[in-house]
Amino acid sequence: MKKFIIKTLGCKVNQYESEAIAQYLKESGLMESNSGPAINGEDTKFYIVNTCAVTQKASMQSRQAVRQAIRSNPNARIIVTGCYAQTEPDEIKKIKGVHYIIGHSDKHKIPEMIISEKEKDPPYPKTICRDICNEHNFKQVPVITYGNRTRPFLKIQDGCNSFCTYCIVPYARGRSRSMPSESVLVNIKKLKEAGYHEVVLSGIHLGCYGLDLSPETSLFLLLSRIHESQAINRIRLSSIEPLELTEDIIKLVAKPGSVCHHFHIPLQSGDDLILKRMHRPYTSSFFRKLVRTIHELIPDAGIGVDTLIGFPGETDEAFGNTYSLIAELPVSYLHVFPFSHRQKTPASQYPDKVPSSIIKARCQEMRELGNLKKIEFYRKMIDRKVEVLIEEKSNYSTGFLKGITSNYVPVFVSGKDNLKNTIVNVRIEKLNNNNSVFGTICR
Ligand code: SF4
């Protein structure tokens, strides 16, 4: 009996890819097992570590995960893939006990590699790590994967052409590549048939969707087709860059239909000089206008924003510009990331490094602002009747079901467990410990 374990680090796209590998292996008769050692000596176990390299810390955690896999499963075949494998294969070779190092171009071949492997075939490690920048085709494991989420991710785009000065992703994921629109619609239709009500469209640089396809298309055109086909109740967009969140897309989302009233937009900095040094192609006034346009056309929209704090050269004034920009805008939540030097990125060589104690203090200040913005947004939901997709059965301690609104507000309600994965109408009644709201199911 062949068994496998998958340990995943990093973003939605990495998680989606791990789920697809797991799905394919399970559909091929393999068993997903826990991280403990093989019970029966005959069992061959494959331990896949799908790594991340977005920060120094993520790379360190990836190395730790590989070592942990080797320690806890000394007889398993250790397969290391993902962004750390793609960018630092030589570092992984230094870890004794690894059998395969597989780059992104060949990640989709891992299931077949496991299924066809008959016996051990030293010497190890075997490294298949092609230059990802030569990759022009969107590749994926040929399964419709659901994972164990009520709101499955669907990866429709990979790679990035932007080269922001702090980011390793373009070196790890290569150039932007898109899933053909027909395949996107087929995947969504199958997810709907499988009983799902919401799909989260994911990518490394989602806004570049379709620009590489022939004939060229775009995220707006794809969303329009999904909208017209009414393929599923809800489509949620994962992160989308400011310049690519066009007025067309906002107006389409504003129409009654399937695209959720939720945008997650990476701002990174509210200071124009820092944005320039980050190689971010917009200004703070462009961002201000964008958020105001969203709010005007979709007043209840959930607007989440990423900020990167402590970029080299970020003075008190520059930080103040980021803080005040967020403070004045109808933003509903923040993700705050401390800048970390990433080798092989231009910013790692920049002077004027900000001391980590200052980065820490500024991040704290931003997170406090983010909390205030979130509570303010949740308060505006009180007394409103909204649709909620119930995601989780009743929590053991509270006995409440948990769900999510179109504009990304977590809601707790009383109700039977069989409401899981259904959309119900809820009247929002009050804040629930500042991290969610509480409501009552109504007609
Ligand atoms: S847009 Fe910038 S931050 Fe985002 S993945 Fe591309 S290079 Fe990285």
- pLDDT 10s digits, 130-151: 999 989 999 887 777 666 789 9
Would you state the pLDDT for residue 171? 96
- Closest atom of ligand 1 relative to the 163 alpha carbon: 7
Q: What percentage of the chain exceeds 70 in pLDDT?
A: 97
Question: What is the CA(398)–ligand 1 centre distance, in A?
Answer: 40
Query: What separation in angstroms does the CA of 428 have from each of 48, 412, 439, 441?
Result: 43, 9, 4, 9
Would you state the pLDDT for residue 39? 46
The DSSP bridge partners found for residue 78 are 47
Question: Are both 22 and 67 inside the same structural domain?
Answer: yes
Question: What is the CA(12)–ligand 1 centre distance, in A?
Answer: 14
Residue 136 domain-assigned (yes or no) = no
Would you state the pLDDT for residue 145? 66
Question: What is the CA(307)–ligand 1 centre distance, in A?
Answer: 13
pLDDT band with cut points at 50, 70 and 90 for residue 24: very high
Indicate if the pLDDT at residue 41 is higher than 70. Answer: no
Residue 165 domain-assigned (yes or no) = yes
pLDDT band with cut points at 50, 70 and 90 for residue 406: very high
Q: CATH number of the domain that 392 lies in?
A: 2.40.50.140
Which comes out higher in pLDDT, residue 2 or 21? 21
Question: Are both 115 and 177 inside the same structural domain?
Answer: no
Q: Where does ligand 1 bind, in terms of residues with CB under 6 Å?
A: 160, 162-164, 167, 169-170, 204-205, 241
Indicate if the pLDDT at residue 382 is higher than 90. Answer: yes
Would you state the pLDDT for residue 393? 77
Would you state the pLDDT for residue 43? 60
Question: Are both 101 and 146 inside the same structural domain?
Answer: no
Would you state the pLDDT for residue 434? 82
Write a three-state SS string for 203-226: ECCHHHCCCCCCCCCCHHHHHHHH
Question: Are both 156 and 214 inside the same structural domain?
Answer: yes
pLDDT band with cut points at 50, 70 and 90 for residue 35: low
Q: CATH number of the domain that 292 lies in?
A: 3.30.750.200
Mean pLDDT of the chain: 93
Total domains present in the chain: 4
Considering only 7-11, 130-134, 386-390, 391-395, which range has the smallest mean pLDDT? 391-395
Question: What is the CA(265)–ligand 1 centre distance, in A?
Answer: 12
Question: Are both 398 and 371 inside the same structural domain?
Answer: no
Give the separation between CA 188 and CA 210, rounded to whole angstroms. Answer: 17
Ligand 1 pocket test target in 205, 268, 306 with most atoms within 8 Å of CB: 205
Residue 406 domain-assigned (yes or no) = yes
- Are 221 and 249 contacting, i.e. CB atoms less than 8 angstroms apart? no
Q: CATH number of the domain that 28 lies in?
A: 3.40.50.12160
Which comes out higher in pLDDT, residue 131 or 36? 131
Among candidate residues 211, 230, 260, the one where a domain is terminated: 260
Among candidate residues 211, 229, 260, the one where a domain is terminated: 260
Question: What is the CA(170)–ligand 1 centre distance, in A?
Answer: 7
Angle at CA of residue 358, ends 353 and 360, nearest 5°:
110
Ligand 1 pocket test target in 12, 204, 305, 344 with most atoms within 8 Å of CB: 204
Residue 64 domain-assigned (yes or no) = yes
Indicate if the pLDDT at residue 396 is higher than 90. Answer: no
Domain that holds residue 394: 385-441
Ligand 1 pocket test target in 52, 160, 161, 173 with most atoms within 8 Å of CB: 160
pLDDT band with cut points at 50, 70 and 90 for residue 161: very high
Question: What is the CA(173)–ligand 1 centre distance, in A?
Answer: 10
Indicate if the pLDDT at residue 126 is higher than 80. Answer: yes
Give pLDDT tens digits for 237-296. 999 999 999 999 999 999 998 999 999 999 999 999 999 999 999 999 999 999 999 999
pLDDT band with cut points at 50, 70 and 90 for residue 178: very high
For residue 294, the tally of other CB atoms under 10 A from its CB is 24
Question: Are both 292 and 275 inside the same structural domain?
Answer: yes
Residue nearest to atom 2 of ligand 1 (CA): 164
Which comes out higher in pLDDT, residue 102 or 399? 102
Question: Are both 307 and 241 inside the same structural domain?
Answer: no
Would you state the pLDDT for residue 10? 94
Q: Residue written as tokens 């087929």?
A: 186
Indicate if the pLDDT at residue 398 is higher than 60. Answer: yes
Question: What is the CA(162)–ligand 1 centre distance, in A?
Answer: 6
Question: Are both 372 and 275 inside the same structural domain?
Answer: yes
Residue nearest to atom 5 of ligand 1 (CA): 169
- Closest atom of ligand 1 relative to the 160 alpha carbon: 6
Residue 319 domain-assigned (yes or no) = yes
Indicate if the pLDDT at residue 443 is higher than 90. Answer: no
- Are 228 and 260 contacting, i.e. CB atoms less than 8 angstroms apart? no
Indicate if the pLDDT at residue 27 is higher than 80. Answer: yes
Ligand 1 pocket test target in 158, 169, 311 with most atoms within 8 Å of CB: 169
Indicate if the pLDDT at residue 40 is higher than 70. Answer: no
Indicate if the pLDDT at residue 385 is higher than 90. Answer: yes
Question: Are both 125 and 145 inside the same structural domain?
Answer: no
Would you state the pLDDT for residue 44? 65
Question: Are both 31 and 103 inside the same structural domain?
Answer: yes
Give pLDDT tens digits for 186-209. 999 999 999 999 999 999 999 999
Residue 121 domain-assigned (yes or no) = yes
- Are 84 and 92 contacting, i.e. CB atoms less than 8 angstroms apart? yes
Ligand 1 pocket test target in 11, 157, 162 with most atoms within 8 Å of CB: 162
Question: Are both 339 and 277 inside the same structural domain?
Answer: yes
Indicate if the pLDDT at residue 78 is higher than 60. Answer: yes
Residue nearest to atom 1 of ligand 1 (CA): 162
Give the three-state DSSP class for 15. helix
Indicate if the pLDDT at residue 321 is higher than 90. Answer: yes
Mean pLDDT (whole number) for 32-54? 74
Would you state the pLDDT for residue 140? 82
Question: Are both 236 and 278 inside the same structural domain?
Answer: no
- Closest atom of ligand 1 relative to the 241 alpha carbon: 1
Question: What is the CA(130)–ligand 1 centre distance, in A?
Answer: 21
- Neighbouring residues of 8: CB distance < 8 A, sequence distance ≥ 6: 14, 15, 18, 50
- Are 260 and 406 contacting, i.e. CB atoms less than 8 angstroms apart? yes
Among candidate residues 92, 107, 130, the one where a domain is terminated: 130
Residue 135 domain-assigned (yes or no) = no
Mean pLDDT (whole number) for 417-432? 95
Residue 313 domain-assigned (yes or no) = yes
Considering only 30-39, 123-132, 273-282, 411-420, which range has the smallest mean pLDDT? 30-39
Q: What is the pTM of this model?
A: 0.93
Question: What is the CA(325)–ligand 1 centre distance, in A?
Answer: 21
Question: What is the CA(295)–ligand 1 centre distance, in A?
Answer: 25
